[in-house]
Amino acid sequence: MKNYHRLDEIQKDLYDHKITCQELVSHYLENIKRNEHLNAFLEVFESEALAKAERIDEKIKDNKAGKLAGLIFGIKDLLCYQNHKVSGGSRILESFESLFTSTAVQKLLVEDAIVIGRQNCDEFGMGSTNENSAYGLVKNGLDKSRVPGGSSGGSAVAVQMDMCQISLGTDTGGSVRQPASFCGVIGLKPTYSRISRWGLLAYASSFDTIGIFSKSIHDNQIVLETIAGKDDRDATSSSQEFSIKESTKAAWKIAVLEEASNQEGLQSEVNDSLKVTIDSLEKTGNVVNRVNFPLMDYVLPTYYILTTAEASTNLSRYDGAHFGHRSAATSNLESMYKLSRTEGFGDEVRRRIMLGTFVLSADYYDAYFTKAQKARKLIIDATNEILEKHDFILIPTASTTAFPIGKHEGDPLAMYMSDLMTVQASVSGIPAISIPLSKDKYGLPIGMQIMSKAFDEEKLFAISKHLLNE
Ligand code: GLN
């Protein structure tokens, strides 16, 4: 079976009776098997997906299928799916089964999409390479010696290698966009609050956003349209609906941040790709301005102070009593807490809990946490000011293409630095998309990132279609 680019192509063949949903699921299952060594899936729902496909084939015959019939998707191991394991890539939740389904997954299922499996990720979404999973690292399908990016590495590789048509990942500081860039697929982080976080294991609640990996903008739009909107179970979810409109080509005004394109460590081919993108935008009637963003140096520290603080609070629920792992070696209540958490969490998660606890401690609260909150407000205001005068901000998604596995081993700071380009949209809560626009000399994909005002995803899709010729 061919590697379908868009859902409407799949649906055309389904309704013309050229293929069946069961054949489609079998095709992805074969690809999952063939690519087992990449470690993208932690669990495959083989018999369930095939049984569901049989039912949907019946519905198609009766013309009663939902709008996403034929869409086979995977979910990052941070999204709950009732009566299925969800572990957050962590030992602490190794045998934990979810009692309910996350709103985003549920909304896809209602429209007859089929979930094919649970995808590997960095533990609780903390990481940029998928090397922090308790269940082994994920390899990039284009070069097995390289990382796929993270934390949603399994979800990106699954779409890259046609193991499913789309994946739901999560993006707190770049975890959908950066792996999309490293794997050569499309990755959307919608506006914060666009999609309900109900059923998403929390990392940093004021940043966490469900995001969508796809091969086409068309599929990304239709999935966003289905899963966006108000949910009474998430008080922060927005009531703004998202509906697909015909994209009309406009003459856009685009800001390119000087500080991002002058970054130390920016791979020359990434910079070249940015220049080519700018040229092509200018040649097609758009205005591109080079703009200064002096706060660039503060974005990463602000992100890491606030997210570790929120993580230390959110992860306090994993205490050996409420969920998941309880140490067998405990002698009293305190040792149960300590040992369960020490045995259950990996190094990076422990580091972040300690950092977060430190910045929230009474003596340092004002020096770090309060200051970072103020910095966040300044970053939001400065970003919005640029977006008042421009339709978009354009910068590379990452400074480099996918790097070798183990490159930043033992150097957490170097790892944090690799998030430099993606955290601005996360701190500001605005939408951002990564689209694959070129390749480096090794054939590794280079992603460009476009940001827009909050709730302007439709415009992001329009410029992406323009740049991708979709
Ligand atoms: N790499 C970033 C971090 O480790 C982003 C992670 C994410 O978006 N979940 O925090």
pLDDT tens, the chain, 470 aa long: 999 999 999 999 999 999 999 999 999 999 999 999 999 999 999 999 999 999 999 999 999 999 999 999 999 999 999 999 999 999 999 999 999 999 999 999 999 999 999 999 999 999 999 999 999 999 999 999 999 999 999 999 999 999 999 999 999 999 999 999 999 999 999 999 999 999 999 999 999 999 999 999 999 999 999 999 999 999 999 999 999 987 777 799 999 999 988 888 999 999 999 999 999 999 999 999 999 999 999 999 999 999 999 999 999 999 999 888 999 999 999 999 999 999 999 999 999 999 999 999 999 999 999 999 999 999 999 999 999 999 999 999 999 999 999 999 999 999 999 999 999 999 999 999 999 999 999 999 999 999 999 999 999 999 999 999 99
Taking CA atoms only, the protein residue closest to ligand 1 atom 5 is: 173
Single out the residue of 467, 446, 468 nearest to residue 270, CA to CA: 446
Spell out the residues 6+ positions from residue 6 whose beta carbon is closer than 8 angstroms to its own: 215, 216, 218, 219
Q: Confirm whether 371 is domain-assigned.
A: no
Q: Confirm whether 51 is domain-assigned.
A: yes
Q: Confirm whether 316 is domain-assigned.
A: no
Q: What pLDDT, on a 0 to 100 scale, did the predictor assign at position 413?
A: 92
Report the distance separating Cα 443 and Cα 421, nearest Å: 22
Output the pTM of the full model. Answer: 0.98
- For residue 181, the CA-to-ligand 1 centroid distance in Å is 14
> With a 6 A CB cut-off, is 307 part of the ligand 1 pocket?
yes
Is 76 among the catalytic positions?
yes
> With a 6 A CB cut-off, is 128 part of the ligand 1 pocket?
yes
Minimum-distance ligand 1 atom for the alpha carbon of 174: 8
Q: Confirm whether 100 is domain-assigned.
A: yes
Q: What pLDDT, on a 0 to 100 scale, did the predictor assign at position 323?
A: 84
Minimum-distance ligand 1 atom for the alpha carbon of 125: 9
Minimum-distance ligand 1 atom for the alpha carbon of 175: 8
- Residue whose CB lies within 8 A of the most ligand 1 atoms, among 77, 78, 122, for a mutation test: 122
- Residue whose CB lies within 8 A of the most ligand 1 atoms, among 79, 123, 126, for a mutation test: 126
> With a 6 A CB cut-off, is 131 part of the ligand 1 pocket?
no
Single out the residue of 290, 195, 216 nearest to residue 464, CA to CA: 216
CATH number, domain of 21, equals 3.90.1300.10
- For residue 170, the CA-to-ligand 1 centroid distance in Å is 9
DSSP label at residue 447: E
Report the distance separating Cα 387 and Cα 381, nearest Å: 10
Q: Confirm whether 103 is domain-assigned.
A: yes
- For residue 337, the CA-to-ligand 1 centroid distance in Å is 26
Please tell me the total count of domains within the chain.
1
Q: Confirm whether 460 is domain-assigned.
A: yes
Amino acid making up residue 322 = H
Report the distance separating Cα 298 and Cα 92, nearest Å: 33
DSSP label at residue 404: B
| CB-CB contact of 455 with 228 (8 Å) | no
> With a 6 A CB cut-off, is 126 part of the ligand 1 pocket?
yes
Size (the chain), residues: 470
Report the distance separating Cα 239 and Cα 244, nearest Å: 16
Helices then strands, each counted (H, E), the chain: 16, 11
DSSP label at residue 205: T
DSSP of 334-355: HHHHHHHHHHHS-HHHHHHHHH
> With a 6 A CB cut-off, is 175 part of the ligand 1 pocket?
yes
Spell out the residues 6+ positions from residue 116 whose beta carbon is closer than 8 angstroms to its own: 25, 28, 29, 32, 44, 45, 49, 72, 73, 74, 163, 164
Report the distance separating Cα 386 and Cα 403, nearest Å: 32
Domain, as residue range, for 182 = 1-255+394-470
Q: What radius of gyration do the chain's Cα atoms show? A: 21
Residues 216-255 as b or e (16 or more Cβ within 10 Å = b): bbbbbbbbbbbbbbebeebeebbeeebeeeebeeeebebb
Q: What pLDDT, on a 0 to 100 scale, did the predictor assign at position 387?
A: 98
Report the distance separating Cα 146 and Cα 400, nearest Å: 12
Beta bridge partners of 449: 395, 434
Q: What pLDDT, on a 0 to 100 scale, did the predictor assign at position 268?
A: 96
Q: Confirm whether 134 is domain-assigned.
A: yes
> With a 6 A CB cut-off, is 173 part of the ligand 1 pocket?
yes
Q: Confirm whether 203 is domain-assigned.
A: yes
- Residue whose CB lies within 8 A of the most ligand 1 atoms, among 181, 307, 312, 350, for a mutation test: 307
